[in-house]
């Protein structure tokens, strides 16, 4: 299946409702501390890796392992930059820009799992799809959402147990569900999970800056859809719903170019 179809690309801008400040002074300090720590870790890996690769005596196995570490560090930096850009865009302008084009959601998910850092956990991910899964989507934004939601399921689910991803198309909408086994979330945690100030149950497991689910929820909303979560003793399920319409959230407007 082709990920993208050869049709004209449309750019849509969504003006969201004004956001309350993402963080107070304490949260800002915590965020900046986390940012500097994560950037420092990634830059250290990059620096050490480049140094090793410059040695003519480096063994082939060491070179391969170093290249893998460099790739992982680069991907982490890219995720952090995407989150920073999206959060800044929403907070400063209240505007989320989408480049929507005809796209197969099932192919997009498969490509994301194969090409992102999630490829290292593919043996734990079971993917299925049903029906035609094409819609008018922003490929880059949706790839970001898929990475965040699946990584969250891997990190917070029962270790070594599978994560199931199912994509389904109907005449009215596209849906994607991501399910993991594990202890249920508390009602309080579920209620604030998608907020910018959400407290992470295990923040040390975050693969970026901790704004992933907040940004993912905004991406779903920008597409006129929803991102929700259900959690009980059978596990936790995130559900993305993208309607086959161009309607935006109340108060939004479209600009086509």
Three state DSSP letters for 158-188: CCCCCEEEEEEECCCEEEEEEEECCCCCCHH
Which structure tokens are listed for 221?
């909303």
Helices (H), 25-138: 25-53, 60-93, 105-115
Instruction: Tell me which of 40-49, 104-113, 140-149, 190-199 is least confident.
Output: 40-49
Q: Would you tell me which CATH number, out of the four given (3.30.70.1290, 2.60.120.10, 3.90.550.10, 3.30.565.10), belongs to the domain 1-257?
A: 3.30.565.10
Q: What does the domain layout of the chain look like in residue ranges?
A: 1-257
Rounded Cα–Cα distance for residues 247 and 97 (Å): 15
Residue of higher predicted confidence among 144 and 204: 144
Rounded Cα–Cα distance for residues 94 and 81 (Å): 18
Give pLDDT tens digits for 10-66: 444 444 444 444 455 545 555 555 665 566 666 676 666 666 665 655 567 766 666
Confidence (pLDDT) at 214:
86
First to last CA, the chain: 27
Residue whose entry in the numeric block shows the structure tokens 């389904």: 168
The whole-number average pLDDT for the span 74-97 is 68
Give pLDDT tens digits for 184-237: 999 888 888 988 765 555 444 455 456 789 889 989 988 999 999 999 999 999
Confidence (pLDDT) at 35:
62
Which structure tokens are listed for 241?
């719903």
Burial 89-104 (b: 16+ CB within 10 A, else e): bbeeeeebebebbbbb
Q: Are 106 and 75 in contact (CB under 8 A)?
A: no
């Amino acid at each position: 299946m082709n990920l993208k179809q050869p049709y004209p690309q449309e750019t849509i801008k969504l003006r969201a409702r004004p956001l309350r400040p993402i963080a107070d002074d304490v949260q800002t300090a915590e965020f900046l501390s986390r940012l500097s720590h994560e950037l420092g870790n990634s830059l250290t890996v990059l620096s050490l890796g480049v140094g090793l690769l410059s040695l003519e005596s480096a063994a082939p196995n060491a070179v391969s392992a170093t290249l893998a570490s460099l790739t992982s560090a680069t991907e982490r930096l890219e995720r952090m930059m995407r989150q920073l850009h999206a959060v800044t865009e929403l907070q400063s302008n209240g505007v989320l820009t989408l480049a929507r084009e005809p796209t197969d959601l099932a192919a997009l998910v498969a490509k994301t799992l194969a090409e992102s850092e999630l490829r290292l956990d593919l043996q734990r991910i079971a993917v299925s799809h049903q029906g035609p899964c094409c819609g008018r989507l922003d490929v880059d934004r949706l790839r970001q959402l898929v990475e965040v939601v699946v990584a969250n399921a891997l990190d917070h689910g029962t270790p070594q147990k599978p994560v199931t991803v199912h994509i389904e198309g109907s005449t009215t909408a596209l849906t994607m569900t991501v399910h993991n086994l594990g202890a249920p979330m508390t009602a309080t945690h579920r209620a604030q999970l998608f907020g910018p100030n959400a407290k992470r149950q295990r923040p040390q497991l975050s693969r970026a800056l901790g704004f992933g689910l907040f940004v993912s929820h905004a991406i779903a909303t920008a597409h006129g859809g929803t991102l929700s979560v259900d959690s009980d003793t059978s596990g936790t399920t995130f559900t993305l719903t993208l309607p086959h319409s161009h309607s935006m959230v109340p108060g939004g407007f479209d600009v086509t170019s």
